[in-house]
Structure 1
Amino acid sequence: MIISEVSEFFRLFNSHLGESFLFFSLFWIVHGINQLCGQKLNIFGIIPRHPASIIFGPICAPFLHADFNHLLYNSFPLFFMLAILFAKGPSQAIATILAMNLLTGLITWLIARRGNHIGASGLIMALFGFLLYKGYQSPSVESIIIALIILYYFGTLLLSIFPDDLLTSYEGHLAGLIAGIVIAHYGIPYSIQTIAIKPAYYLNIMAATLFR
């Protein structure tokens, strides 16, 4: 029973690795475009309490990074947790990410210090909180093993929700952790699940074309 459940997860993990890689590539593509534009795209980050920022910020901010090191630092935990999420299927993964970005962005917009909050750290914390809470909420061999691996390798991420320096958006990290737990507990609104169907369909086609 345990072996079959773990084997099934790895089968799904491997079968959707192409989709998770393509989605992850978006972060690097956007970063490259942003660098070519002289980082002008950073205007679409989250600027707390700025009316226009609430429109684009929650969706755009996770894809924008201050520099190469900022994105590189985020890349390993981001790809690892995205790959786990995509094992449940591209549609569900994209819907979850969209819900996470929207809620993380809203909370950050409400509580964060003034400035421009960008980077995938909020999404990483949302994924972290989501996967940990799933191990508690719906305990199974798969969810518990995932939660333990996440906690073992990325447990120090919890320290990032506390104030450290002026350049780190600990408010965005805290907002992401809260958003991940909330979404894991209450689920994803049907409207967001519907929106995710088309992007997931095209992502699946691209992955099938490139990797299979």
Structure 2
Amino acid sequence: MTGTGGHSALPAQPNKRPAWLVGGLTVVSFVALLYVIEAYDSVTGHQLDRNGIRPLETDGLSGILFAPLLHSNWEHLVANTGPALVLGFLMTLAGLSRFIFATAIIWIVGGFGTWLIGNIGAPTYNGVVVETNHIGASGLIFGWLTFLIVFGFFTRKVWEIVVGVVVLFIYGSILLGVLPGTFGVSWQGHLCGAAAGVLAAYLLSGPERKARALRRPVRPPQLNS
């Protein structure tokens, strides 16, 4: 196939979707999945909720994979929906691959931390700690929140620092959820998710930190006479 003048015609390049649109669709799809799961859970008598994180129990380890997808009721899910949509979308602005890796780190590390300390503060009955079962996307949300707050300070990029400050101003008060409070609210999951978010921000800012280190002038050694 040739174009005008006998030159080979270049194939038309497909229009690439804007990053913000891809990120938005990704987060909306994830939240929609949470609603599908909760709908199924509701009609089956909340049997899925048993698959949460049960601390220090071997068969409770599998809950690390499932807990962020499960919610105790519709009110629980609705309460998590707004922050998940906003913070999840802002996370994707740092790059979809970073969003995926950060989410994986928060999901696994935060979940494992919850498995380790999830019984702290739980009531006891006849000297035995009452079994706890941690479910909900709030640990993931807390991880996204702390990631956004500190990521810019690791990368030293102005717009990412601005995003962090704005997020801290709007959502900073919910960080109080990492403190022990009402039994039935997984402050342990919030705390571990938040810590995992800071870890993810540090690890994933590695390229910027290394580039910054290479730009630093090397001081010649001092020789004393």
TM-score bracket for the superposition, by shorter chain length: 0.7 to 0.9
RMSD: 1.6
Name the CA distance, whole Å, in 2 between partners of 1:149 and 1:134.
13
| Structure 2 residue aligned with 1:42 | 49
Unaligned residue ranges in structure 1 (runs of 5+): 1-10, 189-212
The match for 1:72 is 78
Does the CA-based 8 Å contact 1:12-1:88 persist in structure 2?
no
2 CA distance for matches of 1:179 and 1:187?
12
Change in 2 beyond 3 A, CA 1:146/1:166: same
Partner of residue 135, structure 1:
152
Query: How many residues matched?
Result: 177
* Gap change, CA 1:90 and 1:33, over 3 Å in 2: farther
**Change beyond 3 A, Cα 1:106–1:14:** same
Which of 99, 103, 118 is the aligned partner of 1:97?
103
Larger radius of gyration: 2
Give yes or no for contact 2:98–2:204 (8 Å, CA) kept in 1.
no
Report sequence identity in percent: 29
Q: Could you tell me whether the CA contact under 8 Å between 1:47 and 1:109 is conserved in 2?
A: yes
Q: Conserved in 2, the CA contact under 8 Å of 1:104 and 1:122?
A: yes
Structure 1 residue 23 corresponds to structure 2 residue 30: yes
Relative contact order, higher structure (CA 8 A, sep 6+): 1
- Confirm or deny: 8 A CA contact 1:45 1:60 kept in the other structure: yes
TM-score with structure 1 length normalisation?
0.78
* TM superposition score normalised by structure 2: 0.74
Q: Which amino acid aligns with 2:156?
A: P
1:74-104: CA deviations, max 9, x gaps? Answer: 1111111111122344443223212211001
Structure 1 residues 180, 145: closer, same or farther in 2, change over 3 A? Answer: same
Alpha carbons 1:24, 1:82 under 8 Å: kept: no
SS in 2 for 1:184: helix
